[in-house]
């Protein structure tokens, strides 16, 4: 008789680092996204939890930790004894918290399999993001209870080097009093950083006897840095000095396409707000696309011209429905408008033959598209799968060059539902520092569902057609990249921000406050 062996459960105590999802170690990431049940500290950033949820299994459970260390250990052990993989996600490093150590000890007293995954400590990690080096003998700690601090030892440590402490903002006064009572000089430089490694990280510098007042308004966990390294912040601050730091940027794109742009904006320090303005749906009558796919298989076309990522997806979805793959593009040349479109084609293992070297538009492609030659091109037909609202410019231009064109509606773009009232108000009142338009339809639909962006908002467009549409709607176009691609668009906005900062920095302080130079107030009064 064979017995079914019960699955062996596992517990992982995982350090989340200071808060930026990008600072998770590979092992920490894998331990969480592969877990069946995840318990996390309530103080962890929502953006971190959501990022991990999106990559975990659909049935994985994420719940905040409740109760004493023993209670947390019981929940973890219950999951492990049921054959599940459980993870306890904590800020900083697991062994930097007495409560987590107690939970690990409780699990270690049983036969459960467990591991402890280190994380970057909050105190040291945030100091680096704030641009504050910790020279000499470094003393860094994540403090849950300031009453346990040995201020005499901290004063001695400060005499030998630098100190960095992660504490609750409400405990700053107690830390100040303890340091002064231990004999620390009141003029010792201090930095206080709130929302460390987050989108709204902010650091204020002062001294031991004044840092509580300087940090008024800070909430949650803050990092306190003391010592000579604080003076270096003016030169070494990098996180808060990124080109778009603090900019609230409106991203009016489809839900599927907004992610790449938002990630690039975050890398430059911006806070993107994704507002879908269009939704992509199949054509009302699929017969055209069915005939086009059959024509591709039968060798009816010499070229397929893709004008957007959505067109690539629409064709590929039809391929999937019929059990076809990249091999059925054999003998067909591919032309693409825009690097993003080309990347979508490459993702399916196909290298496009033609991408305009200059302007990424219908005109740019036509300028480089060879006229039809009956000897070189015995098959003289081009497939043009596009949106239902696309213009006739490209099809007409190809016909003028001697090609027969099957102009096929591959997908429809429909207007999305209006965003929430607070987003609409922010758009119309200047609550966004910039808006990025990637097509004429995003301009039309955003204005239609939410209203025109305020004149104070920087308007960035991906190409000339989008610029033309924005101008028709009365918008001032501030930024347009030399090449029509998402990376170039974001980079152009970042470059504009740098120029704006330099222009404002060159003004006398009095003129700066009353300046009519367009740009975010975050830059004007920084």
Calpha distance 154→360 (Å, rounded): 60
Nearest to 398 by CA among 302, 299, 297, 312: 302
Alpha carbons within 13 angstroms on the beta-carbon side of residue 35 total 30
Alpha carbons within 13 angstroms on the beta-carbon side of residue 380 total 14
Token readout for 129 is 């993001």
Kindly indicate whether the domain formed by 289-385 is annotated with CATH number 3.40.50.10090. Answer: yes
Token readout for 420 is 């929430």
Topology of domain 123-241, CATH: 3.30.950
pLDDT, residue 414, reads: 82
pLDDT, residue 486, reads: 87
Calpha distance 64→61 (Å, rounded): 10
In the 8-state DSSP scheme, what is residue 35?
Answer: -
Q: Where are the domains of the chain?
A: 10-119, 123-241, 248-277+417-524, 289-385
Q: Tell me if the pTM is above 0.85.
A: no
End-to-end alpha carbon distance in the chain: 75
Quick one: CATH architecture of 248-277+417-524?
3-Layer(aba) Sandwich (3.40)
CB atoms near residue 471 (< 10 Å): 14
According to DSSP, the β-strands at 137-142 and 61-64 are: unpaired
Domains 10-119 and 248-277+417-524 share a fold: no
Say which residues have a Cβ less than 8 Å from residue 200's Cβ, sequence separation at least 6. Answer: 194, 246, 271
Alpha carbons within 13 angstroms on the beta-carbon side of residue 462 total 23
Token readout for 209 is 């006897």
CB 422 within 8 A of CB 452: no
pLDDT, residue 516, reads: 43
- Write 54-59 long-range contacts (CB < 8 A, 24+): 55/29, 56/32, 57/33
Query: Domain spanning 10-119: which superfamily?
Result: Tetrapyrrole methylase, N-terminal domain (3.40.1010.10)
**Residues constituting the chain:** 526
Say which residues have a Cβ less than 8 Å from residue 302's Cβ, sequence separation at least 6. Answer: 332, 333, 377, 379, 380, 381, 382, 403
Which segments within 183-290 are labelled E, that is strand? Answer: 189-194, 202-207, 221-226, 248-251, 271-274, 278-281
CB atoms near residue 208 (< 10 Å): 20
Distance of CA 349 to the CA centre of its chain: 27
pLDDT, residue 525, reads: 35
Calpha distance 315→327 (Å, rounded): 14
pLDDT, residue 1, reads: 45
Calpha distance 160→55 (Å, rounded): 45
- Per-residue pLDDT of the chain (526 residues), as tens digits, is 455 455 679 999 999 999 999 999 999 999 999 999 999 999 899 989 999 999 999 999 999 999 999 999 999 999 999 999 999 999 999 999 999 999 999 999 999 999 999 999 999 999 999 999 998 878 888 998 999 999 999 999 998 889 999 999 999 999 999 999 999 999 999 999 999 999 999 999 999 999 999 999 999 999 999 999 999 999 999 999 999 999 999 999 766 667 789 999 999 999 999 998 877 888 888 888 889 889 888 888 989 999 888 899 998 888 888 888 888 887 889 999 888 889 889 988 889 999 988 777 888 889 889 888 887 878 888 999 988 877 678 888 999 888 989 888 898 888 888 999 999 999 999 999 999 999 888 999 999 999 999 999 999 999 999 999 999 999 999 999 998 888 999 999 999 999 998 888 887 766 665 554 444 544 433 3
pLDDT, residue 515, reads: 54
DSSP string over 322-339: TT--GGGGTT-EEEESSH
Say which residues have a Cβ less than 8 Å from residue 321's Cβ, sequence separation at least 6. Answer: none
CB atoms near residue 358 (< 10 Å): 12
pLDDT, residue 517, reads: 47
């Amino acid at each position: 008789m064979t017995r079914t062996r019960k699955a062996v459960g596992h517990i992982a105590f995982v350090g989340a680092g200071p808060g930026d999802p990008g600072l998770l170690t590979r092992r920490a990431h894998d331990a969480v996204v592969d877990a069946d049940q995840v318990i996390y500290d309530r103080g962890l950033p929502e953006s971190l939890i959501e990022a991990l949820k999106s990559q975990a299994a659909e049935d994985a459970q994420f719940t905040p930790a409740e109760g004493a260390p023993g209670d947390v250990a019981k929940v973890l052990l219950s999951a492990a004894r049921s054959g599940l993989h459980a993870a306890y996600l904590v800020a900083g490093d697991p062994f930097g918290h007495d409560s987590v150590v107690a939970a690990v000890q409780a699990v270690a007293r049983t036969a459960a399999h467990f591991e402890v995954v280190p994380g970057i400590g909050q105190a040291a990690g945030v100091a680096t993001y704030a641009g504050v080096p910790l020279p000499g003998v470094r003393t860094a700690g994540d403090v849950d209870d300031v009453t346990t601090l040995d201020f005499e030892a901290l004063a001695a440590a400060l005499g030998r080097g630098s100190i960095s402490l992660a504490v609750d903002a409400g405990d700053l006064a107690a830390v100040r009093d303890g340091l002064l009572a231990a004999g620390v000089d009141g003029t010792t430089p201090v930095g206080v950083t709130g929302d460390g490694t987050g989108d709204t990280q902010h650091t204020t510098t002062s001294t031991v006897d004044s840092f509580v007042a300087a940090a008024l308004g800070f909430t949650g966990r803050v990092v306190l840095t003391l010592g000579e390294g604080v003076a270096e912040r003016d030169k070494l601050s990098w996180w808060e000095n990124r080109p778009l730091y603090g900019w609230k940027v409106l991203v009016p794109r489809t839900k599927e396409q907004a992610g790449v742009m938002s990630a690039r904006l975050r890398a430059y320090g911006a806070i993107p707000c994704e507002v879908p303005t269009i939704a992509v749906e199949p054509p009302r009558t699929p017969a055209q696309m069915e005939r086009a796919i059959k024509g591709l298989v039968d060798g009816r076309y010499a070229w397929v011209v893709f004008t957007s990522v959505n067109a690539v997806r629409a064709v590929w979805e039809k391929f999937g429905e019929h059990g076809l793959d990249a091999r059925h593009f054999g003998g067909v040349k591919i032309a693409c408008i825009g690097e993003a479109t080309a990347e979508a084609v490459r993702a399916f293992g196909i290298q496009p033959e033609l991408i305009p070297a200059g302007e990424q538009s219908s005109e740019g492609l036509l300028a480089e598209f060879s006229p039809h030659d009956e000897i070189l091109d015995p098959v003289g037909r081009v497939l043009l799968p596009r949106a239902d609202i696309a213009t006739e410019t490209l099809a007409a231009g190809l016909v003028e060059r001697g090609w027969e064109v099957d102009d096929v509606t591959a997908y429809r773009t429909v207007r999305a539902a209006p965003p929430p009232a607070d987003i609409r108000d922010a758009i119309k009142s200047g609550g966004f520092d910039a808006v990025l338009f990637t097509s004429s339809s995003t301009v039309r639909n955003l204005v239609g569902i939410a209203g025109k962006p305020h004149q104070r908002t920087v308007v960035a467009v991906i190409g000339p057609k989008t610029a033309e549409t924005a101008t028709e709607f009365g918008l001032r176009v501030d930024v347009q990249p030399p090449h029509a691609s998402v990376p170039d668009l974001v980079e152009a906005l970042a470059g504009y921000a740098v120029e704006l900062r330099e222009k404002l920095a060159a003004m006398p302080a009095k003129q700066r406050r009353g300046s009519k130079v367009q740009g975010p107030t975050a830059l004007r009064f920084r």
